[in-house]
Amino acid sequence: MSSDQVPPVTSIGTPRITAGFDEYGRLDLIAHQEVHGGFAALSSGELIGLADRIELRGRGGAGFPFARKVRAVLDSCQRQDLPPVIVVNATEGEPPSWKDKAVLTRGPHLILDGAALAAAALDAEEIVIGIADDGIGQQSLAAALAERRMPVPTRIVTVPHRFISGEGGALVRGINGEAHIPPGRKVRSSDNGVGGLPTLLSNAETYSQLAIAARLGPWEYNAVGIPEEPGTVMLTVGGSATAPAVVEAPTGTPLMDVLTMCGADIGPGLLVGGYHGKWITAEAAKTVTISRKGFAKVGGTLGAGMLIPIGSSTCPLGEVAQVTQYLAGESAGQCGPCRLGLPDLARAVTLVALGGSALENVRQAAGVVKGRGACSHPDGTARFALSALEVFARDVELHANGEGCGKQVRGILPLPYHTDQGARKLAVDWSRCDGHGLCSAVAPEIIRLDANGFPAFPQTPLPPWLENGARKAVNVCPALALRLTEAGKK
């Protein structure tokens, strides 16, 4: 799947969010109204009642009940005598996910409808839509806003296309003109969000589902899917799939129906819920139905709807090591256990893939970071790595005994590296390196020494917050063996 092009969109059953995509490609306002029709405004009580009756939960990964969010914002508004702000999180910074971008580029008015419903019901001050600065969806969204009148002032804010930029606190900080990283301590956006106002923040798909429900009403909306999780869900199928796609499917749909539609070779495992999700076995995948409870039964998570089969022709441990290195580099760099611990975890996973480390080292490194960050990034990364070692236990054995699995790393798990953006990485001229060890002393968060005293570090692009340390390490190398290179070069 291309890293800069939205994949095809398809559906199982009658489409709702993706209705009209086949006929119109992108729905402008006229096409949108023809396909979806109009809707009536709701009071705050009606909004909460609708969200409760359709069991609407956030579609960005956490699955928090939408009605509970609305109640919290209303309570805060009354307590502080302040108006709220509506925030649409359409940043989608996780490399394997495309569902929100698919709606942004092809059905943006549905997102705007949901935000407008919430803004009118809560008498909001403004609507802010956060999107990534990768250019995907911004033109479509701006054109949609130009075609219609919103009930309150509405603006688009772009944030850096990074893994953590879509975390709720990071998005609010970015909108407020601060660094696009999670706050150092927990802050409830419902109490103190954009501009210090109570803020209702939810995912782009969540607002789209709200717009669908406002038109259909709870009875018709709940007629599709399973009773405890009614409606449809947007999924991104990538990995080994020969026909990767964004798929809209009713909850309760057998997972294998979705994977078969996309030509997916599961191989030894399937990643569900993205890079903060979990791996499940091919056998477990055959028993799953699409829902939060369905995935939970086999130890997985629906998350933001990413399904990534590893396939039979790629090295699972090599793929997992690359992503763990990437996730370590995506740390905001503000929490010590995350800043120092995730590189340790990445190194431990990489050494397992190379056949030179015990699993206990990975478990120990994961235990150091879990529950010790300002956001869920350390926990999610640890979950991703630990579940991989469980599901790919046979591959771990093959790598440990020196045989290896005999398969190459093919980039089945996508990474967002673009050398034209100036990404840099460390490299060593091994003919010069004498193992002085000074580099690890000045940049311990990047470089460790291996068993023979030579530098070891992830072969992935450096995040901006690590570049200064890397330059210091380069400058102190007495043999001039260490250097910074463009990420795409050897």
Residue 420: pLDDT band (50, 70, 90) is very low
Report the interhelical angle of 377-391 vs 336-353 (nearest 10°): 20
Report the interhelical angle of 108-122 vs 29-36 (nearest 10°): 80
Q: In the predicted model, is pLDDT for residue 148 greater than 90?
A: yes
Residue 486: pLDDT band (50, 70, 90) is confident
Query: 104 CB contacts (<8 Å, ≥6 apart)?
Result: 90, 111, 131, 136, 137, 140, 141, 204
> Is there a contact between 354 and 395 (Cβ–Cβ < 8 Å)?
no
**Tokens standing for residue 142:** 């701006």
Q: In the predicted model, is pLDDT for residue 184 greater than 80?
A: no
| Domain coordinates in residue numbering, the chain | 17-221, 225-309, 316-400, 419-486
**Among the four given CATH numbers 3.30.360.10, 3.10.20.600, 3.40.50.300, 3.40.50.620, the one describing domain 225-309:** 3.10.20.600
For the ranges 259-263, 413-417, 458-462, the lowest mean pLDDT is seen at 458-462
**Among the four given CATH numbers 3.40.50.300, 3.30.9.10, 3.40.30.10, 3.30.70.20, the one describing domain 419-486:** 3.30.70.20
Residues 266-278 have a mean pLDDT of 96
Cα–Cα distance measured from residue 165 to residue 322, given in angstroms and rounded to the nearest whole number: 20
Task: Please give the model's pTM, rounded to 2 decimal places.
Answer: 0.86
Q: Topology of domain 316-400, per CATH?
A: de novo design (two linked rop proteins) (1.20.1440)
Cα–Cα distance measured from residue 241 to residue 259, given in angstroms and rounded to the nearest whole number: 8
> Is there a contact between 359 and 389 (Cβ–Cβ < 8 Å)?
yes
**Among the four given CATH numbers 3.40.50.720, 3.40.50.11540, 3.40.50.300, 2.170.130.10, the one describing domain 17-221:** 3.40.50.11540
Q: Do the domains 419-486 and 17-221 match in fold?
A: no
Residue 42 confidence (pLDDT): 97
Residue 235: pLDDT band (50, 70, 90) is very high
Element (H, E) at 393: helix 393-400
Q: What is the pLDDT of residues 87-99, one digit of tens each?
A: 999 999 899 999 9
Residues 172-186 have a mean pLDDT of 87
Q: What is the pLDDT of residues 24-74, one digit of tens each?
A: 999 999 999 999 999 999 999 999 999 999 999 988 877 889 999 999 999
Q: In the predicted model, is pLDDT for residue 488 greater than 60?
A: no
Report the interhelical angle of 44-53 vs 66-80 (nearest 10°): 160
